[in-house]
Each structure stands twice: as C-alpha cells, then as structure tokens.
C-alpha cells in the first residue's frame, strides 16, 4: 500500500487544561480532497496550525511523505510541498495582484537568501498563475481594491504557485455570497482535477458537500466522523453534537 502523504499519529495540543486537539489519528493520501467541519471551537484551526508547523504539538507526531515534520520550521513547508491559506484574507493590500504573485514566487522558494531580481521567467510564471485563476484582468490593481472573491482566489493562486502536493484551505468561502461560493467551487473542483491533495476547513456545508470526497467532523478536539460527506447528516454522533446533546 502507498504510504500516506500526510499522517497524524495521536496528535494533541493542550492550552493549559484545555485539549484543543485531543489525540487525532489521520492518514491523508495523495490526490484526496478532504473537508473538515465541526462546531466553533472544535479545534479545526488549531489542527491546521499543527499540520502546517505554525504551532508545536504537545504530543504525537506528524509525518509528511513519511518523514516527521514536527520540528521543522513553518517557512520550510512550502518548498517541502505543503501550502496553506488562512481564514482571514492575507496578501499585501497596497501591492498589485501581480506584485503579490511575484512576491509569493520569489519568497516561496525556501532559499535562505532568495535572489530578489525579478526576471522574465518570474513574470511569465506569475502571469500564467493569474491566468489560470482568471485574475489577469486585475493584475495591475491594488489588492485593497479588488472584490472579496478575487482576493480569496488570489490567496489560493499564490499558495499553489509552487505546485504543492498538499494544499490546506482554512474556511475558503467564509463571507462570500452564494453565487461567489459557486464560482469558488468551480475553481477548487478544477484544482482537484489537477491531482493536488486538498484539505479544507469549512462551515458552509454546501461547499463541503460538493467539493469533498471525504469528510471529517471535529468536536472538542477529537475526530468524531471520518467518511463520505453524504453520511454526515445521518450519523448519530454528529447529529447529537449539532443538536446540542453531546
């Protein structure tokens, strides 16, 4: 059997007496698209922070391509093949869309001292990425001026500029209107087709149900569901959590 792309073994994160992530075991295989849901405070973002090296685990181990990454600093993750977006739109708001893409391409290389001279090949690559995400028409517009949907797409575009094997998206469609969610769904489905492994957190169930092939539900730091998205609604444990009796 092929080794998992990402493996979490009994991973935990304690904040004092609170177990924000409480002994999670998970194997993610190349090409999978996984959606993580669960109530507020369930531990989803903390779990992403652990996977992407932003916070150290209190216990357990995380392996990427079979190698422990628990002690590797976060800035090494992109060149290793793991990219992530955040709940709140990031990016340099006073720079243009093209400049943001160029910054991502130059600084995401993982080199201790990246060569900051912008060369034709960098511009070409940036233009290709913007084209792929239908952002070319906004290339010369400052990020502060572009619509919310375009900003969210730009975050994904900069994250995948280095062709990661694993893409983590934290609440990618939060705050978008339903037609914008549709547009984002199309974009993620196209990414999925390209073979990249995508793990995302999302409260918008329509997005999760349409995009994910496998769903995880977290509650009080634990995984309480791991299976087909279609099975969530009829799962007794999930129902009891959402109806408030767990």
Nearest C-alpha neighbor of 66 from the set 86, 81, 48: 81
Does 15 participate in binding ligand ATP (rule CB under 6 A)?
Answer: yes
Smallest separation (angstroms) from ligand ATP to the CB of 159: 19
Nearer to ligand ATP, 46 or 158 (CB): 46
Nearer to ligand ATP, 15 or 107 (CB): 15
Q: If DSSP codes are grouped into helix, strand and coil, which group holds residue 181?
A: helix
Nearer to ligand ATP, 18 or 233 (CB): 18
Polymer length of the chain: 246
Smallest separation (angstroms) from ligand ATP to the CB of 18: 6
Phi, psi of 204 (to 5 degrees): -75, 105
Nearer to ligand ATP, 80 or 218 (CB): 218
Smallest separation (angstroms) from ligand ATP to the CB of 40: 3
User: Going by DSSP bridges, is the β-strand pair 59-64/67-68 parallel, antiparallel, or unpaired?
Assistant: antiparallel
What single string gives the DSSP state of each residue in 207-228? HHHHH-SEEEEEETTEEEEEE-
Smallest separation (angstroms) from ligand ATP to the CB of 87: 7
Place of tokens 């009891």: 240
Residue 91 Ramachandran class (φ > 0 left, ψ -120 to 50 alpha, else beta): left
Nearest C-alpha neighbor of 242 from the set 42, 44, 40, 39: 39
- The span of 43-51, 115-123, 179-187, 224-232 binding ligand ATP (CB under 6 A) equals 43-51
Smallest separation (angstroms) from ligand ATP to the CB of 156: 19
Does 38 participate in binding ligand ATP (rule CB under 6 A)?
Answer: yes
Nearer to ligand ATP, 42 or 78 (CB): 42
Could you tell me the two tokens for 245? 């009796």
Residue 52 Ramachandran class (φ > 0 left, ψ -120 to 50 alpha, else beta): alpha
Residues 44-63 that bind ligand ATP (CB under 6 A): 44-46
Could you tell me the two tokens for 15? 């904040």
Smallest separation (angstroms) from ligand ATP to the CB of 219: 9
- The span of 40-48, 68-76, 104-112, 187-195 binding ligand ATP (CB under 6 A) equals 40-48
Q: Which of 35, 43, 53, 108 binds ligand ATP (CB under 6 A)?
A: 43
Nearest C-alpha neighbor of 24 from the set 46, 41, 3: 46
Q: Which residues bind ligand ATP (CB under 6 A)?
A: 15, 18, 20, 38, 40-46
């Amino acid at each position: 059997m092929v080794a998992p792309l990402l493996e979490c073994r009994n991973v935990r994160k304690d904040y004092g007496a609170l177990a924000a992530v409480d002994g999670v075991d998970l194997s993610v295989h190349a090409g999978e698209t996984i959606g993580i849901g669960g109530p507020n405070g369930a531990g989803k973002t903390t779990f992403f922070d652990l996977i992407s090296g932003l916070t150290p685990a209190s216990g357990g181990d995380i392996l990427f391509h079979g190698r422990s990454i628990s002690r590797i600093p976060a800035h090494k993750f992109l060149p290793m093949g793991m990219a992530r977006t955040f709940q709140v739109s990031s990016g340099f708001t006073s720079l243009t869309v093209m400049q943001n893409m160029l910054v991502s391409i130059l600084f995401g290389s993982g080199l201790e001292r990246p060569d900051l001279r912008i060369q034709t090949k960098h511009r070409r690559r940036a233009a290709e990425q913007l084209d792929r995400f239908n952002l070319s028409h906004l290339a010369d517009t400052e990020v502060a001026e572009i619509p919310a949907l375009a900003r969210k797409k730009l975050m994904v575009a900069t994250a995948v500029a280095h062709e990661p094997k694993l893409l983590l998206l934290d609440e990618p469609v939060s705050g978008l209107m339903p037609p914008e969610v549709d547009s984002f769904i199309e974009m993620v489905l196209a990414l999925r087709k390209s073979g990249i492994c995508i793990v995302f957190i999302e409260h918008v169930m329509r997005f999760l149900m349409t995009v994910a092939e496998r769903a995880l539900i977290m509650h009080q730091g634990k995984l309480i569901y791991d299976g087909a998205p279609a099975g969530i609604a009829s799962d007794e444990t999930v129902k009891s959590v959402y109806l408030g009796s767990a």
